[in-house]
Structure 1
Amino acid sequence: MKISTKGRYGILAMLDLALHETETTHVPLNLIAERQEISHSYLEQVFSSLRKAGYVKSIKGPQGGYRLGNKPHRITAGDILRTLEGDLSVTESSQSTSLSTYERCLHENVWEPMNDSIYKTVNAITLEDLIESFKQQEQGDNLMFYI
């Protein structure tokens, strides 16, 4: 499984939105596009899917833009990726009764554990976790070392 540009940009843009929205303002998509150096029209497609899924809300007009559709601790990387990528399984799902003994052995010992690991990982990471990590890394980048 390889995450597409749409999935990577989707998580990146959602993190940007989460970091820049406030209680009273919406974040214009063009500002996210500029900060992240992503095509505005491409982000419109990404955010259209996220809006339909309820992960962002939009307002049109001069004061318009986007806000998260839920609190950052309620939106996971898995939510975003499944919305933009679809199923995250490493293999096509098939009926275990139609599998040969070889295929069933691989399915039970390789593919299913991989799928479970991916599922657990992306569902354990929330936007709030990413915000905290970003802020910690940003603080570390701003430290000045003197000799």
Structure 2
Amino acid sequence: MKISTKGRYGLTIMIELARKHGEGPISLKTIAQMNDLSEHYLEQIIAPLRNAGLVKSIRGAYGGYILSDIPSKITAGDVIRVLEGPISPVEGIEDEEPAKRELWIRIRDAVKDVLDNTTLDDLASYTGTGDGESDPYMFYI
């Protein structure tokens, strides 16, 4: 499974909203500038997140977007599924021989476990050292 820029940027939006949770709405323009991303592309990504009920839009001069729930209740899996679809390393698992099917299922379940147990709160407050040793979100398969 490869996460596209849609999923990556969608997670960026959600992490920024989590960081500003409780401070009022944040505009996509602000998020785009903070992360050196295309505001136009973020506008395309926010629509499915809003339609899925993960974010709310606030209109007006000081409008923007806020999370629809607290950051500890929204997982990376919630965001990735909305933007990328079902989590699966390969298509047609049911057609594989049993040994390979078991491998694909184990990989799928491991990825789901990480995504479903990593909240926006975890990601927004993460201050890892980047040395790989103390990085709880770096997995090698």
Moved >3 Å (runs of 4+): none
Corresponding residue of 1:47: 46
Of residues 94, 99, 117 in structure 2, which corresponds to 1:105?
Answer: 99
Any stretches of 5+ residues in structure 2 without a counterpart? 130-141
Q: Structure 1 residue 10 and structure 2 residue 4: aligned?
A: no
Distance 2:112 2:79 in 1: 12
Report if the CA contact (8 A) 1:7-1:85 is conserved.
yes
C-alpha deviation, 1:22, in angstroms:
2.7
Report if the CA contact (8 A) 2:89-2:108 is conserved.
yes
TM-score, with length taken from structure 2: 0.85
Q: Structure 1 residue 128 and structure 2 residue 126: aligned?
A: no
Structure (1 or 2) with the larger CA radius of gyration: 1
Distance 2:128 2:97 in 1: 44
Q: Structure 1 residue 69 and structure 2 residue 62: aligned?
A: no
Identity %: 43
TM-score, with length taken from structure 1: 0.81
C-alpha deviation, 1:105, in angstroms:
2.1
Q: CA RMSD in A?
A: 1.7
C-alpha deviation, 1:82, in angstroms:
0.4
Distance 1:17 1:69 in 2: 10
Number of aligned pairs?
129
Any stretches of 5+ residues in structure 1 without a counterpart? 139-147
